[in-house]
Amino acid sequence: MTLSFGTDGIRGVARTELTTEIAEQLGRAAARVLGRRLFLVGRDTRESGPELQAALMEGLAHAGAGVADLGVVPTPAVAFCSARRDAPAAMVSASHNPYTDNGIKLFAAGGRKLSDAVEARVEAEFEKPAEPRGGSAVRSPPEPLSPEPLPPEYGAHLLASLGGRTFGGLRVVLDCANGAASAVAPDVFAAAGADVVAIHDRPDGTNINDRSGSTHPESLQGAVLARRADLGLAFDGDADRVLAVAADGALVDGDHLIALLAVDRKSRGALPGDTVVVTVMSNLGFRLAMAGRGIAVHETSVGDRYVLEALEANGWALGGEQSGHIIFRDVATTGDGLLTGLAVCDAVARTGRPLSELARVMTRLPQVLRNVPVAADGRARLDSADGLWAEVRQVEAALGDTGRVLLRPSGTEPVVRVMVEAADAERARAAAEQLCAAVVRELGR
């Protein structure tokens, strides 16, 4: 993969693309823009994490920041501590990527991802030539916030979201992806009253996300069936997203989880404005299901940061992405896989209905995704490609209310992404092929 700078900071192949020098450089830039009083830093379980974290902390300290080491923690725990202490923070993680990759995610004071304007300022500082150190000494980071590997108040915060309810022995299989959830999730769910079976909870630095977690839920599906569990939860490497598995082994994706949680919250008067926020990638079946339940759907660009911005701007509480990034704005400042998993278990235990039944609130429509290579300037010409958009309107008219088309440029590659949803798979495939040909015709030269 290519090193990139985005809303979460930077990500690339550890030690070749994302080096300790780059981590230190980002630390200096982040301190200059986000603040020097105190900076919190955590990491996941990748073998490259300690060296990148040390370099990042060195850069922060050299720029004059106080630094506190949170150790190996989930990304949402870093955001929680950032909000609790009103301090900027960083997480050394590449999320769901393999162990060979790593990244550095940044949070502004208050535990929120950076706005476009602040992100641009950090990137501008990052790209400046490194200043000579002269004879100044690098400040040593202070002692960690606590001797525990996880700030204990984070676990209490998660359990408090249940309002005193417990799960009454609900058997839950937790796939910790050999990542940051490994030392946290089993204890939290056991404290909530679950009969916990943990798998992929023995990180060794190289097995994070390896045939496990939210990107590879197959072993969790098998474990749920083998252990006759009520449900299973698959986290990613830094535990900010989760997918679920029902007792029958069926996978329950982010759209289904948001749908059942929205319906559950509305039934309890806990869905402000009777509105839920999702990105343009959420399935049309989700929108149809919400309309049938009297729940409005607000749509944003792709990215959980944009979901949070819409939630905060309008006073809404629930939103997320198909990938399993789900935000409870009245409880947290970012997507939290553990918090989402607890909410799902709570809905199952409280209603007495199995996850498979709750998830049937929506029916997923067939979706076809294609990445279409275009000319070097093709992405820039997309908005003005009148012939292409005329064909899009033709396809949309043919699909009617049970179909949807989305064309958007890749942010990093000379590619246009084509998505088509329809009432049946063949119609979706044929429409996607028609539009892909139109993209090539209009933008491929």
Q: Which of 423, 348, 389 is nearest to 169 (CA)?
A: 348
Q: Is residue 120 part of a domain?
A: yes
- Alpha-carbon gap, residue 48 to 110, rounded angstroms: 27
Q: What is the CATH number of the domain that holds 209?
A: 3.40.120.10
Average per-residue pLDDT for the chain: 91
Q: What is the mean pLDDT of residues 327-356?
A: 97
- What crossing angle do the helices spanning 337-351 and 152-160 adopt, rounded to 10°? 30
Residues 397, 435, single domain; the answer is: yes
- Percent of the chain whose pLDDT exceeds 90: 83
What pLDDT band is residue 169 in, cutting at 50, 70 and 90?
A: confident
Q: Is residue 340 part of a domain?
A: no
Q: Give yes or no for a contact between 392 and 407, defined as CB atoms under 8 angstroms apart.
A: yes
Active site residues: 95
What pLDDT band is residue 361 in, cutting at 50, 70 and 90?
A: very high
Residues 241, 286, single domain; the answer is: no
Q: Is residue 140 part of a domain?
A: no
Nearest 5°: CA angle at 236, between 234 and 238?
Answer: 135
Q: What is the mean pLDDT of residues 353-368?
A: 95
Whole-Å CA distances, 1 to 13, 93, 292, 412: 7, 15, 42, 11
16 alpha carbon, distance to own chain's centre: 25
Residues 122, 15, single domain; the answer is: yes
Residues 188, 282, single domain; the answer is: no
**Residue 445: pLDDT over 70:** no
Q: What is the mean pLDDT of residues 119-147?
A: 60
| 410 vs 327, more confident | 327
Q: Is residue 342 part of a domain?
A: no
Q: What is the mean pLDDT of residues 165-189?
A: 96
- pLDDT one-digit tens code per residue, 233-268: 999 999 999 999 999 999 999 999 999 999 999 999
Bridge-based pairing of strands 101-108 and 367-373 is unpaired
Residues 400, 308, single domain; the answer is: no
What pLDDT band is residue 168 in, cutting at 50, 70 and 90?
A: confident
Q: What is the pLDDT of residue 432?
A: 95
Q: What is the CATH number of the domain that holds 378?
A: 3.30.310.50
Q: What is the pLDDT of residue 3?
A: 58
Q: What is the pLDDT of residue 302?
A: 85
The residue range of the domain holding 419 is: 367-443
Residues 200, 283, single domain; the answer is: no
| 151 vs 37, more confident | 37
Q: What is the pLDDT of residue 29?
A: 94
Whole-Å CA distances, 202 to 12, 25, 178, 198: 24, 32, 6, 10
Q: Is residue 355 part of a domain?
A: yes
Q: Which of 285, 254, 276, 269 is nearest to 361 (CA)?
A: 285
Q: Is residue 138 part of a domain?
A: no
Q: Is residue 139 part of a domain?
A: no
**Domain end marker among 364, 385, 419:** 364
Residues 324, 244, single domain; the answer is: no
Q: What is the pLDDT of residue 39?
A: 95
Place of tokens 């990500």: 11
What pLDDT band is residue 146 in, cutting at 50, 70 and 90?
A: very low
Q: Is residue 83 part of a domain?
A: yes
**Residue 199: pLDDT over 80:** yes
- pLDDT one-digit tens code per residue, 280-335: 989 999 999 999 999 999 999 888 889 999 999 999 999 999 999 999 999 999 99
pTM: 0.89
- Alpha-carbon gap, residue 179 to 181, rounded angstroms: 6
| 319 vs 2, more confident | 319
Tally of domains in the chain: 4
Q: What is the pLDDT of residue 139?
A: 41
Where residue 71 falls (left for φ over 0; alpha for ψ -120 to 50; beta otherwise) is left
